[in-house]
Amino acid sequence: MQKWIFFVLFILAGALGLGVLFQDISDRQDAQAAAAAASKLPQLKVVASNWQFDQTEYKVKSGQSTKVSLQLKEGVHEIEIVGLDIKLDKDNPSKEVTFDKPGTYEIHCILPCGEGHATMKTKLVVE
Answer yes or no: do 20 and 72 share one domain. no
pLDDT tens per residue, range 26-46? 566 666 666 666 567 889 999
Answer yes or no: do 58 and 116 share one domain. yes
Answer yes or no: do 59 and 47 share one domain. yes
Give the model's pLDDT for residue 104: 95
pLDDT tens per residue, range 8-28? 777 877 777 656 655 655 566
Answer yes or no: do 87 and 51 share one domain. yes
pLDDT band at 105 (very low <50, low <70, confident <90, very high): very high
Q: How many domains does the chain have?
A: 2
pTM as predicted = 0.66
Mean pLDDT to the nearest integer, 107-121? 90
Mean pLDDT to the nearest integer, 37-58? 86
Answer yes or no: do 18 and 52 share one domain. no
Answer yes or no: do 106 and 64 share one domain. yes
Per cent of the chain over pLDDT 90 is 46
Q: Which amino acid is at 7?
A: F
Which residues span the domain enclosing 1?
1-40
Answer yes or no: do 11 and 71 share one domain. no
pLDDT band at 113 (very low <50, low <70, confident <90, very high): confident
